[in-house]
Amino acid sequence: MTTLRKSLLAALKSFLRGKSFLQALLAFWISPQKLKDQRDNDSTFCVARTIAEFLREAEELLLRPIEGDKLKTFSVNLKAQFRERLQSHPECMLPSFNHLLPTGKEVGRYLALDVGGSTLRVALVELRGRENKGKECEIIRMSSFKITPEIKRLEGMAFFDWMAMRIHEVIHKDAIANTQDPIPLGLAWSFPVEQVSLGGGLLMGMGKGFLATNGLLGQDLGEILKFACRKHGLNVQVASIINDGTATLLSRAYTHAETRFGLILGTGTNIAVHLPVSAISRHKYGVRPESWFDSADHVIVNTELGMFGHDILPETRWDELLNASHPRPEFQPLEHYLSGYYLGEICRLAIVEAVETAGLLGGELPPSLVDPYSLDTETLSRMEADTSTTLEKALVAFTSAHPSAASPADISAIRTLASLVSRRSAALLGAAVFSLWELRYEAALEQAASSSSSSPSSGEKPSSSSPSAGAEDLTTPPHTKVAFTGSVIERYPGYLARCQAHVAALVAGSRHPVLAAGSVDLVPAVESSLIGAAVALGCALACPS
């Protein structure tokens, strides 16, 4: 009976590859514990293939769909999704209120806040100008405060009172606080907010265990923080609120005028891009004064990159298994392929199959790898960092996190799987960057054509999105900078270089000759949240709108 069941399982596995529901059901049926029990009671149990055969198939599944022209095809399809959602989707391609890039002439000392999921940082940032011979900008004072579980449980105003006390601690002795005038503040806010002005946004649920919005949902974040600070003797005016993508873009644009993108790739992923106002459907701007449109030629757009990729991603059976167990499998398809939160899980699912079918780890899955998301991408990063022939450091990295009798051959196989998963991620991210870059150029061409066809002599007011005197030259090959931050793109071995190589190859093959002669360079944005908040504040004060 056991042999018959084994044969049936093997046949089903062969026949049902790629069928997400049945594959997930099958994976549940032959859970690691059941497989172990079967081995213990069946001396005739044998693996279905070698590890080398498994790795060859894994390479075929993970890398073949992104080779050569296939990656270009993916980029074309992704660009089509970008275009579609610029016109309609309410949850992505969201225009901010930030329409100005820094000139590099914004100078002064600015109060900047960075509120993340685990840390509040308060800083005084000095902007010295792009032409400064020393550092163009510098954090001259910064204090970091852990947002502990107890702080997260502070409800409503209590959380913002805690923030105000921390701000007071940092600046109360500084000259910036000894003035009767309101102290301008730039805020990098890493949570959802419905922005209604450059320095105002309606609070939305924060998630991540925070109770700060209890009783405050829908109220203006800028006014709440202003009120809390006033109770502690600080006359603060929140002049700009930005997210992490916008902060990344602005922080680098201050020192490098060619910067048009802000890329985040750590636990999650996102891109902010500076697009022509006319590229986005008017209704997506919501309610904002006509004066904003009169002064705005371009706007920084929060793409919510992870939400793209539906029906165009090269799906493997491991991707399907991940989706089958995910509470919202269709919400962020591309996020599952790119971000650090999911890379480890895709690799874990492949390891589970290799244990079951190819005898990896002696056919015994470590108990610590049974649960979903138990393989941290950081572990894979440490393993890939070991390029020695002995893989001793990789062995320690794996077994310290997942105690097992792993052999050097096992570690080599797991390291290979990690490399395949990370290489696919780097290629797809490179395609996403290229698609947005090409889209940006095409949108600028369309805006220029629309502007030139307008006829002021007919009495009609020219489009508010017509190019300003500072519009970019569309006949000169652009050399664009993409500012980046995040643990994966910064520290995962080889990731940045691979992503850059894919971007360069796609640029060289662009259908637009001007773009094919240009370049796109990924450049680091150091301390992007605080510096970006300060730069946004400098821009807001220089040209309020």
Same domain, 112 and 91: no
pLDDT of residue 180: 79
**Does 111 lie in the same domain as 52?**
no
CATH number, domain with residue 140: 3.30.420.40
Interhelix angle for 51-63 vs 408-453, to 10°? Answer: 10
CATH code where residue 367 lies = 3.40.367.20
53 inside domain: yes
Specify whether 507 is located in the same domain as 389: yes
**Cα dihedral angle (416, 418, 419, 425), rounded to 10 degrees?**
150
Q: Of 215, 242, 269, at which residue does a domain stop? A: 242
Position of tokens 């409503």?
Answer: 156
Is 21 domain-assigned?
no
pLDDT at residue 56, as a whole number: 98
Kindly state whether residues 278 and 324 are assigned to the same domain.
yes
Residue 16 domain-assigned? no
Task: Tell me which residue has tokens 């894994």.
Answer: 58
Whether 15 is in a domain gets the answer no
Task: Count how many domains the chain has.
Answer: 2
Same domain? 80 vs 115? no
User: Which token pair is 295?
Assistant: 């002064």
Same domain, 443 and 395: yes
State whether 410 and 425 are in the same domain.
Answer: yes
Please give the pLDDT value at position 339.
Answer: 96
Q: Do the domain assignments include residue 542?
A: no
pLDDT at 13 over 50: no
In tens, the pLDDT along 513-526 reads 999 999 999 999 99
201 and 70 co-located in one domain: no
CA–CA separation, 258 vs 476, rounded Å? Answer: 13
User: At 450, is the pLDDT very low, low, confident or very high (cuts 50, 70, 90)?
Assistant: confident
Q: Residue 191 falls within a domain, yes or no?
A: yes
Lowest mean pLDDT among 7-11, 73-77, 351-355, 444-448: 7-11
In this structure, are 432 and 382 located in the same domain? yes
Supply the pLDDT for residue 545: 58
CA distance 522 to 219: 38
Task: Tell me the DSSP string of 141-170.
Answer: EEEEEE--HHHHT--THHHHHHHHHHHHHH
Same domain assignment for residues 124 and 62: no
User: How many H helices and E strands in the chain?
Assistant: 20, 13
Asked if the structure places residue 304 within a domain, the reply is: yes
Strands (E), 269-422: 269-276, 298-302
510 shares a domain with 415: yes
The model's pTM is: 0.87
Residue 168 belongs to what domain range? Answer: 97-242
Mean pLDDT of 323-351: 95
Where helices occur in 16-111 by DSSP H, the ranges are: 20-29, 32-41, 51-63, 69-87
Residue 512, helix vs strand vs coil: coil
pLDDT interval class at 439 (50, 70, 90)? very high
pLDDT at 178 (0 to 100): 73
Asked, for residue 536, whether it belongs to a domain, the answer is no
pLDDT tens, residue by residue, 141-156: 999 999 999 999 999 9
DSSP tag of 212: T
For residue 30, what pLDDT is reported? 37
| 415 in the same domain as 303 | yes
Does residue 46 carry a pLDDT above 70? no
